[in-house]
Structure 1
Amino acid sequence: MHGVFLNRFLAKPKSVGALLPSSRHLGRQMAKAVTELPAVESVVEIGAGTGSITRHLQPFNPVVVEIEEAFALLLRQRFPQLDIRHGCGLQFLQSLEQSIGLVISVPLINNPLRDRFIESIRQGHESGHIKWCVIFTYGLSNPLEGTGFACSRRRKWVVANVPPAHVWVYY
């Protein structure tokens, strides 16, 4: 699994975003944050990679969107009971027709589409389709500044991750 991740990182470092998959500690904290948020019609995870966070989100039966074909195939093998979609997270967000809770498993800090993600999340929240969001970042600043959520807070700093990550919650 780490070999697939490392190969994708070396081929597309800005699209993959990290040298290693997220740790189980980060996955647990992301899932714990979801349990503390209001129920929604559907939980959606964007950018699941090899599924290290997805593993902890399974109780929520998330729709999983992954742009890298190799990762999408791996996710289908690891989580055959989940709705795994190979596609662009931005396009998915722009086509929302129901209320969702959003988990972003892509570190946006170095993502070339960061501004487009933020705008899509802002529009989805403004339209009432995105009720809440959980994201992690390797940076210190608010990763979704300007999305319009009434509350944004850094929930947890996970040191047991490479690199260490901050979990943020928006609602």
Structure 2
Amino acid sequence: MNSNGVVEWAVVESDIGPLLLAATGSGLVSVVFHARPAVRDRALAQLRTRLGAELVESPGSARLAEPIRQFAAYFAGTLRDFSLDLDWSLTSGFNRQVLRELSAGVPYGAVAGYGDLAERVGQPGAAQAVGAAMGSNPLPVVVPCHRVVERDGGLGGFGGGLETKRQLLALEGVLPPPLF
């Protein structure tokens, strides 16, 4: 259970659609893409179950002010590195190890392969397991799973959808912006 037993959350607009941001007393715990009502409600129910916490909508809270500010700056192109306290309680084991390596070792404007990340955490040959870790990432964008691509240059999968992945990589200058 997180500190205080309360998760504060808000839905914020972004260039890739509405995002649900949720934070505990330890830090940002969840980012959910396409947070329109049905997706938002499902995500909140999962958070309530997984964290055993009370959820409170708090768009103006101190816990969420800095994540909201940094997301706005990221989408405005003025922030390259998030510097937020993160609550890693929704991930563990190999997945947490891979996500921490991704967060620390794949900077803005760069990409890494699934196999490369597997090697970095001492598990060569575990590229598929790295893909599963990316799919379970509770903190996308901040922990930049959009920067993980296939060895042959393909985009690979993405929980937020491939168009969202393309938009994030274009924002970071990895891909050209869409023509229209």
State the TM-score bracket (shorter-chain normalisation).
under 0.3
Higher relative contact order (CA 8 A, sep 6+): 1
- TM normalised by structure 1 equals 0.28
Give the structure with the higher percent strand. Answer: 1
TM-score (norm 2): 0.27
Larger Rg over CA atoms = 2
